[in-house]
Structure 1
Amino acid sequence: MAELVYPPVIGIARTMFKALDLRFDIQGSEHVPAHGGAVLVSNHIGYLDFVFAGLTARPAKRLVRFMAKESVFRHKVSGPLMRAMKHIPVDRSAGMDAYKHALSALRSGEVIGVFPEATISTSFTLKNFKSGAARLAQEAGVPLVPMALWGTQRLWTKGHKRDLGRNHIPVTIRVGEPVAADPAEPAEQVTERVRARVQDLLEAAQRAYPVRAEGPGDSWWIPAHLGGTAPAPAIARG
């Protein structure tokens, strides 16, 4: 079936990024497979992460179907768009429906995007991962593709005002080699392996990031362990 909505939405997003003069540094996009199913696994630090994560699949000419909380699909603006782009609603009280939907998409050769932390990390450090992404990859017989985003929290994240002005904000993205999901391996073990890879990629993105805090008031987006004022993981609620 023709994709009537997703490509135009991508075009609008790219126009917006150009208008905002975002400074992209994306490495590793070649690890997104050009054919067949895959589970794209990313950290989650901002409300626009699914847009940026999806950019990594463009060189392979793939459209990523993201799993997102069901409330996004109820919104009068985002809901029709999310459904038209064939993203997958997740009702946490009935998660098996979303799991079956994603599994079917993977088996038909789609790329599924998952944020295994399940919510935005307000400490901007990596939270524990849910095992659903690993279980999907194991059951569908597809690889997990780890990736990390950095800088997206500066645009729009939980507990902070949106910054969608022309402020030349850098966005750094790193994509790693696919991780095999052996069905014989416990899903929790696969999950920890993938999480470790995302952590490595996140640290690489942070090292490569071209901007540091300009002063005490500008360090809110930097994790405490890197000298910023973001809440430490032990006290962060998100």
Structure 2
Amino acid sequence: MPDLTYRVVIRACRVLFRLLGLRVEVSGAEHLPVAGPAVVAANHASFADFAVVGLPGVQRGRLVRFMAKESVFRAPVAGPLMRAMGHVPVDRRSGAVAARRARRLLRDGEVVGVYPEATIGHAFHLKERDDLRLGAAHLALASGAPLVPVAHWGLHRVLTVGPRVSLRRGRWVGVAVGEPLHPGPGEDAADLTDRWHAAVTDLLADLLARYPDPPVSPRAAWWWPAVLGGGAPDARHARRLDHEAVQRADGLLHRARRDRRDSGAGTERA
């Protein structure tokens, strides 16, 4: 696998963490198997999630191959790096190709990273169960790999939807890994996703309970969850914002594809 590029990127992320003064704490890394296939499934709150969700893997000598939307792979800088690191592009209209590639990686004993929430949530808390995708559970069931729940919180204060970007130093970022979830007899993807949702809910609750920098005025803090009295959108409002963000992204993708087709047709006519 293309590990050299991946390890260079890891070093670059560590340098960036130091420059930003991020206080990253990882707990439960021992729950990630040191060998064999595993499906890491995490919540999605920042454009840079992969940089912290992959940390438990690094601590265990593993590299996580993330499933990410295909538009990232077309970006001038990120695209070549994503491909060189062996990540998996996902076409939101049809994920069959990505699923087959992820299953091959698992058969080879790799760790595959998946975001059941699919898109960054505007609530900065875990989405409702009905809003989750079942892909991570399907991969675990099809491959026999354990589903490893991972929760993280705090990175959205650095980079997230909005867009919101902050270079303020000293942010705390917590990452927590839960015990692997092994499919039980007769369990389907929905059942396994239910257990993942419950596990990550508990992990997030613990991260928030020990968050060292809670807001003085929660309602004025855009980044603090509404379920804790914060200024972030509540679940209903966040669901609408999430849906609108997906529609905008799909619209841009559709226009880009149409422009490429039109450009190709024009070239042929010339």
TM-score bracket for this pair, using the shorter chain length: over 0.9
Contact 2:2–2:86 (8 Å) recurs in 1 = no
Contact 2:2–2:84 (8 Å) recurs in 1 = no
- Does residue 190 in structure 1 map to residue 192 in structure 2? yes
How far residue 164 of structure 1 moved from its aligned partner, in angstroms, is 2.5
How far residue 18 of structure 1 moved from its aligned partner, in angstroms, is 0.9
User: CA 1:231/1:96 → structure 2, altered by over 3 Å: closer, same or farther?
Assistant: same
2:93 corresponds to: 93
2:122 corresponds to: 122
How far residue 216 of structure 1 moved from its aligned partner, in angstroms, is 6.1
Aligned-residue identity in percent: 47
User: CA 1:143/1:216 → structure 2, altered by over 3 Å: closer, same or farther?
Assistant: closer
Contact 2:2–2:85 (8 Å) recurs in 1 = no
Counterpart residue identity of residue 161, structure 1: R
Equivalent-residue separation in structure 2 for 1:90 and 1:122 (angstroms): 21
Equivalent-residue separation in structure 1 for 2:228 and 2:65 (angstroms): 33
Structure 1: gaps (5+ residues): none
Equivalent-residue separation in structure 2 for 1:102 and 1:183 (angstroms): 23
Which has a greater percent of helix? Answer: 2
- Does residue 23 in structure 1 map to residue 59 in structure 2? no
More displaced, 211-220 or 64-73? Answer: 211-220
- TM-score, normalised to structure 1, is 0.96
User: CA 1:133/1:21 → structure 2, altered by over 3 Å: closer, same or farther?
Assistant: same
User: CA 1:155/1:217 → structure 2, altered by over 3 Å: closer, same or farther?
Assistant: farther
Q: Which structure's relative contact order is higher, taking Cα pairs within 8 Å and 6+ residues apart?
A: 1
Counterpart residue identity of residue 108, structure 2: S
Contact 1:37–1:107 (8 Å) recurs in 2 = yes
Counterpart residue identity of residue 84, structure 1: A
Contact 1:46–1:153 (8 Å) recurs in 2 = yes
Question: Which of 135, 140, 146 is equivalent to 2:149?
Answer: 146
Equivalent-residue separation in structure 1 for 2:3 and 2:226 (angstroms): 43
Which secondary structure state, in structure 1, belongs to the residue aligned with residue 166 of structure 2? coil
2:261 corresponds to: none
Contact 1:139–1:183 (8 Å) recurs in 2 = no
How far residue 225 of structure 1 moved from its aligned partner, in angstroms, is 1.5
| Bigger radius of gyration | 2
1:54 corresponds to: 54
Equivalent-residue separation in structure 1 for 2:180 and 2:87 (angstroms): 22
Equivalent-residue separation in structure 2 for 1:49 and 1:21 (angstroms): 17
Which secondary structure state, in structure 2, belongs to the residue aligned with residue 9 of structure 1? helix
- Does residue 158 in structure 1 map to residue 161 in structure 2? yes
2:81 corresponds to: 81
Contact 2:223–2:231 (8 Å) recurs in 1 = yes
Structure 2: gaps (5+ residues): 243-270
- TM-score, normalised to structure 2, is 0.85
Deviation by residue 1:202-230 (Cα, 9 ceiling, x = unmatched): 11111111011144685110111111110
Matches within 5 A, 1:199-238: 199-215=201-217, 219-236=221-238, 237-238=241-242
